[in-house]
A = this chain, B = another copy of it.
Amino acid sequence: MGIAMNIGQAAEASGVSAKMIRHYESIGLVPRADRRNSGYRDYGPQDVHRLGFVRRARDLGFPLERIRVLLGLWGDPGRSSAEVKALALSHIGELEGKARHLQEMAGVLRGLALSCDGDERPDCPIIAGLEAGPVPPSGPCTGRPTSRSSSAKPPSRRSPSPDRR
């Protein structure tokens, strides 16, 4: 099994699905595989190794176009590690930017959820926040979030209710 595998075996060995292997081939990310007489693709250790490289790069969040570059650098004996490092650092920046963005959103939502009683009544600062706009940190007359905490709540009524037509 070492020296000639089906796409399914290559998929299992590399961790890349057969579907994706074909796709990567179709977009030229990996070279066209050899074919047997039957038309079946045939993979050797080299190919599997390359597929593993691709999978690990994907696991680190690299987009395919960047992986294309990485593969180029991988196979280029004249590369400088500085190039690789720059690529990696830039990618790290993107990852962290996205992570920060997600956490920002989670933070805002957490703030809203904190002031939501979560009981059976309809009053809800979360809905109110979505209705009225994102509370800009320390806005002037934002009476939104910290309005009431846990006291005196008469059986409220509804919000402006979308209807029309």
Contact = CB atoms under 8 A, between A and B. Distances in A.
Interface string A69-86: 011011111111110111
Copies of this protein chain in the complex: 2
Contacts of A4: 160-162, 164
B163 A61 contact: no
B81 A117 contact: yes
A109 B163 contact: no
Interface of A: 1, 3-6, 8-9, 11-12, 15, 17, 31-32, 34-38, 40, 42, 44, 46-47, 49-50, 52-53, 56-57, 59-61, 70-71, 73-82, 84-86, 88-89, 91-92, 95-96, 98-100, 102-103, 105-106, 108-110, 112-113, 116-124, 126-127, 129-131, 133-134, 147-150, 156-165
